[in-house]
Structure 1
């Protein structure tokens, strides 16, 4: 999501000027590859780029092909095949064993349509599917409610799944809350901060989506994530009774040991309906606010992606 937001922000600037630009999109992957379908790379006429379509091994070659597409003002369809150890095939020895198909689109009107559609989907706050079809050099885009992410070579149709932007509520204004907020902002998550606003770091206040006093919280959604790190037992009880006890939340984490949580449950006015992580975070032996923030974010990602947080070397299924 962060990379996509960077590309959209850069498009705001580039589309206001008159220079040529191109947008490359990964539309199909077969086998192992660093990036998945939907990965994008924005290129300008000066050779600058944002985003990426691999781990850095294919970008240099793609840049040359994008320059040609911009010069000719025609869409290019590129295939990189790193499945065979062919010394004449670009990608040999790069570490991935897969086929990657990419569409390079230099048509400004098409890029504007992509930007508008992506922004509309992201701003909706909901996950969804976007279908792109290239008919000659014209791109047709539609948002659809249900589908399967896929690439139809014959029809030149790419259907991609766009997850909702993660929205997290961090409750507390101690230094460990600041560390979690900084990490979430670095991931381009939408952060809502609850606490004593007079004690919140001023540099972070201007970067989060919104700040709330303890008793002025509004807009909590079932798709949100929430982490309680107040270091105040009574405050946690009050907050849970007031805002959380009556609704389901995608992720609810509470700082503190198991005994504290057991004590806390006895003080609630009703049983919580959400699945609760307390102690919060994955078991990685985290020490200090920065490491704890990593453990918490890792657990949120595991919940969102329905994973168990084990080491990838023990995973028997495909990574993606």
Structure 2
């Protein structure tokens, strides 16, 4: 289960038990910080905390803020300046020279627009969603702290933001975030003031389909589930004993290669790893995967074997274009010197994560820009200097 889903389930259980709940969200950071905007923590009046907003340095202090605001419904923004001398004075000693701003708000089921219900819908229905949240403003602007705009995939908008000078720009930026799938912090200079908004992209869980049910596929499934991914294992040998090998939370499909394309659903949020150890199975699976919308296709085995698979498909009259082949990774995984099932699984999961986040997978010590600055930002910096 991923952190966001755990928070949503924690909120549901808190409503059943009658607990008062608060949500702490990192909305803006500057400099070096452990978590980035979008990190969340659910806090109850009984002391339960689900999720993290730091490396464990800020959580208890944020909890104390909730204790002081039990009877109040208005959100607040808490700023931690980890570079300031007061950090040492107050005993946080965070060690990261950055600034973290956290929006703390009391959760109510009837709140509109309801970001919790919207997020749950995005995960359940497996679609993107955009939540734009006001966390700072100055001047005579018609917004409140914690005001929101929700953007659905069909263009539907729900908002309690009233300022007519802000809405058009906010809608445009939210639509842009939907297209590029990147969260951002935006500052809007308006005729009567300014507003800062955190535009957050809610992503459905990554869906990993593992073709092959050997013992080497088990750690791949386990590591993927640790990241909150939804895992489906396809066993083309239709072996009932496979069910005992994998975690119960994995979906298991017992199939044959001739009909696997009719039993497995592949969409834009699917990544796939082919590790059947059977050449003919791999051939049929690749025939299905390459024209599919899968974001990543990994093939276990030497490079020459993958090239032979593609050549055999070509001899069958099946030719794939450059864009389709870009998603193909064979051999699968990044080079970390892995030679055990667990090590290979780490290499596979790390490569998929790098592809999903458009990262280079290089050593961080060799990086000249901040860790969380995107490669695209680095390129733009180089082009403009």
TM-score (normalised: structure 1): 0.90
Q: Deviations over 1:42-87 (max 9, x none)?
A: 1111112011111111111111012112243432221100123346
Distance 1:54 1:119, change over 3 A: same
Q: Does 1:288 align with 2:324?
A: no
Q: Which runs of 5+ in 1 are unaligned?
A: none
CA displacement at 1:175 relative to structure 2: 0.6
* Mapped contact 1:282–1:298 kept (Cα < 8 A): yes
* Mapped contact 2:41–2:52 kept (Cα < 8 A): yes
Aligned mates of 2:349, 2:252 — CA distance in 1: 20
Aligned mates of 1:138, 1:281 — CA distance in 2: 42
Which of 325, 334, 349 pairs up with 1:274?
325
The number of residues matched between the two structures is 319
* Mapped contact 1:84–1:92 kept (Cα < 8 A): no
Equivalent residue number for residue 149 of structure 1 = 184
Equivalent residue number for residue 360 of structure 2 = 308
Distance 1:111 1:22, change over 3 A: farther
More divergent stretch after superposition (306-315 vs 141-150) = 141-150
Distance 1:260 1:179, change over 3 A: same
Aligned mates of 2:229, 2:76 — CA distance in 1: 33
Q: Does 1:246 align with 2:291?
A: yes
Distance 1:228 1:29, change over 3 A: same
CA displacement at 1:8 relative to structure 2: 0.8
**Aligned-residue CA RMSD (Å):** 2.5
* Aligned-partner SS, 1:193: strand
* Mapped contact 2:122–2:129 kept (Cα < 8 A): yes
Q: Deviations over 1:116-174 (max 9, x none)?
A: 01112223434442113475577444124324621559546432122342111100010
* Mapped contact 1:168–1:191 kept (Cα < 8 A): yes
Which of 191, 196, 200 pairs up with 1:160?
200
Aligned mates of 1:87, 1:132 — CA distance in 2: 27
* Mapped contact 2:131–2:148 kept (Cα < 8 A): no
Distance 1:203 1:75, change over 3 A: farther
Distance 1:160 1:232, change over 3 A: same
Q: Does 1:178 align with 2:218?
A: yes
* Mapped contact 2:218–2:245 kept (Cα < 8 A): no
Distance 1:112 1:178, change over 3 A: farther
* Mapped contact 2:266–2:292 kept (Cα < 8 A): no
Aligned mates of 1:111, 1:283 — CA distance in 2: 48
Aligned mates of 1:45, 1:87 — CA distance in 2: 26
TM-score (normalised: structure 2): 0.76
Aligned mates of 2:248, 2:176 — CA distance in 1: 37
Equivalent residue number for residue 42 of structure 1 = 42
Q: Does 1:236 align with 2:271?
A: no
Aligned mates of 1:293, 1:68 — CA distance in 2: 46
* Mapped contact 2:129–2:150 kept (Cα < 8 A): no
* Aligned-partner SS, 1:201: helix
* Mapped contact 1:168–1:189 kept (Cα < 8 A): yes
Q: Deviations over 1:272-306 (max 9, x none)?
A: 42322111100001121111111000000111111
